[in-house]
Amino acid sequence: MRSPFAYMPRPGPLQAASPGAAVAYLGALAAVAFLYSSPVVLVAIGAAVTTAGLLAGARGAVRAALRMGFTLARSTSPPRRSPKARSSDSARSW
């Protein structure tokens, strides 16, 4: 079985761009993702990176990366608290 992240050369205008241009574009998106913590900004950057990957023809790699990212996000999210626990916490803060 071949890894979805393995390089597969494809003809097209996106692949004809210089590596420096690709590094500058994706590097700028990565820098913004590290500098801002706003969910709106992070969703916009995620959409831009996903669109770039799909337009480059890397559908399998994008799908695998999104699956891994969602799995990691679910496994590291804090546990949900019941509404009853939340209401008692707000009463204690007064």
Taking the C-alpha atoms of 33, 37, 41 and 47 in order, what is their torsion angle to the nearest 10 degrees? 50
pLDDT in tens, 7-49: 677 777 666 778 888 889 889 999 999 999 898 999 999 999 9
Which pLDDT score, from 0 to 100, does residue 88 have?
55
* Residue among 33, 68, 63, 34 at smallest CA distance from 48: 33
Which pLDDT score, from 0 to 100, does residue 29 have?
92
b/e map 43-55, b = 16+ CB within 10 Å: eebeebbeebbee
- Domain locations in the chain? 13-78
pLDDT in tens, 61-80: 889 988 998 898 888 877 77
DSSP state of 79: P
